[in-house]
């Protein structure tokens, strides 16, 4: 995540992490020594490593190449200070690029161009999910309704900047704020990406209902290949209040798993080979277990269970999952499944039918895994 606050640089020095220097100061003047003196006056216990001070004067491209070749060999959390800039002494801002691997401090002149797209995107995703909270009240701040795509585009052109600015200033957003901020930060890093709108499946009420565009997420290209990202869901969950639970499950999520809960307006943005209509998606079970695919659910593989089709029990057969404990609930009371079979990578069990209920929730090892409507 790019930062431009000078105070952040001082804070980084106080981390006591190793500091690695790349400059064009040379060794005939005192500048390199003065720089190290300033660093040690702020953080006297920080080890300072000279990668090189012999970059040709103001040669940003050469500095970027040296940085690319060297940074991977340093400990995680190393602070790389790069001072090579034709505009030194001018008004150019200093920035800090924070990645899972390291911190990069230097002028905003393209010196960090060769930091990989993967690391830039992960830094962007990480900052958003850790710093932006979900607040449904934000829906009231902007008009997200539109009659057609032309009106939508016009409104977005007007409100997009306002949404991004408010998300950064307030630290709160709904899915539009999360996705638009992710899009903008990727754009600033020269990373191809775009917004995706579509439907989601998270509650019993979503089973069997008509398609509705209610969510927004992102596709970003890494080395020319598209990947799926949902920073809204990656930030946490909302149950009467926002619960911060940063997660990387929605970072480069495999399309088959992402499709359990996300159906895009434009089907090609699902990135799966199988053709599934929005109606078919709607009538799927509620798949809560993140590593479970619809193809793993042999029976019942529809989201609505009609009790007249069974005698006294509902038989379940699920592959590619192993658990020693299965429980279920038709409401508030969670009951155990007395007999389960794990045979040849298939989990089999039965649940007694209960009349007068509307939903069935199945748990694997006490964690919600599958949901069905009962009719």
Residue-wise pLDDT for 259-281, tens only, equals: 999 999 999 999 999 999 999 99
**CATH fold group of domain 121-282:** C8orf32 fold (3.10.620)
Distances (CA, A) of 73 to 20, 77, 146: 11, 12, 51
In whole angstroms, give the CA distance from residue 150 to residue 234. Answer: 30
Helices (H), the chain: 6-13, 31-42, 60-70, 117-131, 149-170, 175-188, 231-235, 255-258, 278-282
SS3 assignment, position 319: strand
Give the phi and the psi of residue 238 in degrees, each rounded to 5: -125, 115
The whole-number average pLDDT for the span 336-349 is 91
User: What is the model's pLDDT at position 326?
Assistant: 96
Residues near 350 by beta carbon (within 8 Å), at least 6 away in sequence: 313, 314, 315, 316, 337, 339
pTM, two decimal places: 0.76
The token pair at 90 is: 């001018």
- How long is the chain? 375
What is the CATH code of the structural domain delimited by 2-115?
3.40.50.10790
Confidence band (pLDDT; 50, 70, 90) for 152? Answer: low
Residue 42 CA to its chain's centroid (Å): 35
- Is residue 86 over pLDDT 90? no
- Bond before 161 cis per omega within 30 degrees: no
Percent of residues, the chain, with pLDDT higher than 70: 91
**CATH fold group of domain 286-374:** Immunoglobulin-like (2.60.40)
The token pair at 133 is: 């909270």
Q: What is the mean pLDDT of the chain?
A: 89
- Is residue 115 over pLDDT 90? no
Q: Is 77 left (phi over 0), alpha (psi -120 to 50) or beta?
A: left
Confidence band (pLDDT; 50, 70, 90) for 4? Answer: very low
Domain ranges of the chain: 2-115, 121-282, 286-374
Which of the given ranges, 1-10, 78-87, 199-208, has the highest pLDDT on average? 199-208
User: What is the model's pLDDT at position 1?
Assistant: 45
The whole-number average pLDDT for the span 116-135 is 90
8 Å CB contact between 2 and 99: no
Short-list 162, 224, 214, CA closest to 193: 224
User: What is the model's pLDDT at position 151?
Assistant: 60
Short-list 374, 348, 347, CA closest to 361: 374
8 Å CB contact between 230 and 253: yes
Percent of residues, the chain, with pLDDT higher than 90: 63
In whole angstroms, give the CA distance from residue 154 to residue 152. Answer: 5
- Is residue 358 over pLDDT 80? yes
Order of all β-strands in the sheet with 313-319: 297-299, 313-319, 346-352, 340-343
- Is residue 2 over pLDDT 60? no
Interval 279-321: pLDDT, tens: 999 999 999 999 999 999 999 999 999 988 888 999 999 999 8
User: What is the model's pLDDT at position 189?
Assistant: 83
In whole angstroms, give the CA distance from residue 251 to residue 230. Answer: 7
Q: Who wins on pLDDT, 119 or 226?
A: 226
């Amino acid at each position: 995540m790019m930062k431009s606050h000078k105070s952040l640089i001082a804070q980084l020095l106080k981390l006591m992490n190793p500091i690695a220097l790349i400059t064009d100061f040379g060794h005939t003047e005192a500048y390199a020594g003065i720089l190290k003196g300033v660093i040690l006056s702020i953080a006297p216990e920080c080890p300072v490593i000279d990668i090189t001070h012999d970059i040709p004067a103001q040669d940003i491209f050469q500095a970027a190449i040296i940085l690319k070749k060297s940074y991977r060999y340093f400990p995680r959390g190393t602070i790389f200070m790069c001072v090579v800039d034709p505009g030194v002494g001018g008004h150019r801002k200093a920035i800090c690029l924070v990645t899972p691997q390291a911190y990069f401090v230097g002028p905003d002149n393209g010196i960090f161009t060769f930091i990989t797209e993967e690391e830039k995107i992960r830094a962007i995703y990480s900052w958003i999910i850790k710093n932006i909270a979900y607040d449904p009240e934000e829906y009231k701040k902007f008009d997200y309704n539109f009659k057609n795509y032309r009106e939508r585009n016009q409104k977005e052109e007007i409100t997009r900047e306002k949404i991004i600015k408010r998300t950064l200033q307030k630290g709160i957003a709904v899915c539009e704020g999360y996705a638009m901020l992710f899009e903008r930060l990727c754009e600033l890093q020269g990373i191809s990406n775009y917004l995706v709108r579509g439907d989601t499946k998270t509650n019993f009420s979503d089973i069997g209902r008509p398609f509705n565009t209610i969510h927004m997420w992102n596709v970003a290209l890494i080395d020319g290949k598209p990947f799926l990202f949902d920073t809204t869901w990656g930030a946490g969950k909302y149950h009467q209040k926002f619960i911060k639970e940063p997660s990387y499950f929605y970072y480069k999520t495999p399309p088959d798993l992402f499709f359990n809960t996300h159906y895009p307006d434009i089907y090609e943005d699902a990135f799966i080979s199988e053709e599934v209509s929005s109606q078919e998606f709607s009538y799927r079970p509620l798949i809560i277990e993140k590593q479970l695919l619809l193809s793993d659910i042999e029976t019942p593989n529809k989201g609505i269970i009609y009790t007249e089709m069974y005698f006294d029990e509902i038989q379940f057969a699920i592959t590619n999952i192993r658990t020693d404990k299965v429980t279920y609930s038709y409401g508030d009371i969670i009951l155990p499944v007395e007999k389960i079979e794990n045979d040849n990578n298939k989990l089999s069990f039965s649940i007694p039918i209960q009349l007068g209920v509307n939903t069935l929730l199945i748990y694997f090892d006490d964690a919600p895994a599958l949901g069905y409507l009962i009719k």
